[in-house]
Copies of this chain bind each other. A is one copy, B any other.
Amino acid sequence: MTTRKDYTRPLDIKHGRVDMGHGAGGRAAAQLIEEVFVKAFDNPYLRQGNDGAALAIPAGHRLVMATDAHVVSPLFFPGGDVGCLSVHGTINDVAMCGARPLYLTASFILEEGFPLAELKRIVDSMAAAAREAGVPVVTGDTKVVEKGKGDGVFISTTGLGVVPQGVDVGGANARPGDVILLSGTIGDHGVAVLSKRESLEFETTIASDTAALHTLVAAMLEAAPGGVRVLRDPTRGGLATTLNEIARQSGVGMLLDEAAIPVLPQVDAACELLGLDPLYVANEGKLVAVCAPEATEVVLAAMRAHPRGAAAVRIGSVTEDPHHFVQMATRFGGRRVVDWLSGEQLPRIC
């Protein structure tokens, strides 16, 4: 019932393609795992070679787990690819809980016929991102689906982290009077992916901001352990949706200052052309922080001293509002409600 292939010879990574045998759990799967995955991620946990990885955790800490499926299309885009994105995205979800990420797991759903060379490029990018972040991929899984039942590569990653003593960060912690900080420009990732997807050419290439933010978070928490109340990365749905989520969870309102929210001129121009509002466009290397007013300056200074927060700004404040509205003082002196993203703006952006 199967085409017999010779899985005893080394993988032909240059010209080979993923076939159904690579997902069947036999010799072919073992070969793919060893020659592509283990080689790239190489670490003592993976080398245990068991169904799971045995891990050490410092005693007496609270743990955080976060998970994300990554289905970005196209797989490669200016500034990144699904591989590094899947590492950054989950590291950031762990970090936004105030935790220090320690370990990642990765599961791959590959489409039959996908070129092994592209898979290797993606896995190598993941491995490089994991190494740069200091967070190893400790165990994984690979499945293959028939051509036309997937879309190249989907990657689900799960992260495990520990929360330092004295840190209490969560979406329900914002209080009226708190200050809202943003670590940099918005919209870069979504516009970078979309411009590649639609083969749009802009005068300047817009690159995704995909990046791991855990060391930025660590610097902020070290500067003011009790002063950072909420952390969140405005990914799908963008800054607007993220702020609405926090407002609802905390039972507060927000007032933003439109003029203070940084958008790169080329992103702004691209959004205008595409009919997008940058407030709803996904970011993959930015964070929003809600801080106690007295901690604002020290947190902002810590952010600006870090390469990922060099352009950090104060964009508004938390208000009392029984409707939990996010409002914005516009450039023209007016005020408008910034609603949730209602449906899709940019599908498959991460």
- Verify B52–A93 contact, CB threshold 8 A: yes
With A144-B347, A343-B21 given, is the CB distance from A109 to B109 under 8 Å?
A: yes
- Verify B20–A347 contact, CB threshold 8 A: yes
Q: Across the interface, name the chain B residue whose C-beta is closest to A108.
A: B69
Q: Decide if A1 is an interface residue (CB 8 Å cutoff).
A: yes
Neighbour of A52 across the interface among B53, B94, B344, CB < 8 A? B94
- Verify A241–B53 contact, CB threshold 8 A: no
- Verify A151–B151 contact, CB threshold 8 A: no
CB distance from A244 to the nearest CB of B (A): 8
Q: Decide if A143 is an interface residue (CB 8 Å cutoff).
A: yes
Contact size range, A: 35 or more
CB distance from A146 to the nearest CB of B (A): 7
The stretch of A113-121, A152-160, A294-302, A310-318 that contacts the partner chain: A152-160
Q: Mark A15-31, 1 if CB is under 8 A from B, else 0.
A: 00001110111111110
- Verify A67–B141 contact, CB threshold 8 A: yes
Most chain B Cβ neighbours within 10 Å, of A70, A161, A348: A348
- Verify B345–A67 contact, CB threshold 8 A: no
CB distance from A142 to the nearest CB of B (A): 8
Q: Across the interface, name the chain B residue whose C-beta is closest to A163.
A: B54
Q: Decide if A265 is an interface residue (CB 8 Å cutoff).
A: no
CA distance A151 to B53 in the complex (A): 29
Q: Mark A211-229, 1 if CB is under 8 A from B, else 0.
A: 0000000000000000000
The stretch of A124-132, A180-188, A232-240, A326-334 that contacts the partner chain: A232-240
Q: Decide if A140 is an interface residue (CB 8 Å cutoff).
A: yes
- Verify A170–B65 contact, CB threshold 8 A: no
Q: Which residues of B contact A141 (CB under 8 A)?
A: 67-69, 156
Known: A53-B66, A54-B63, A65-B160. 9 other contacts (CB 8 A): A5-B342, A26-B340, A51-B92, A54-B62, A54-B99, A57-B57, A63-B160, A66-B139, A143-B348
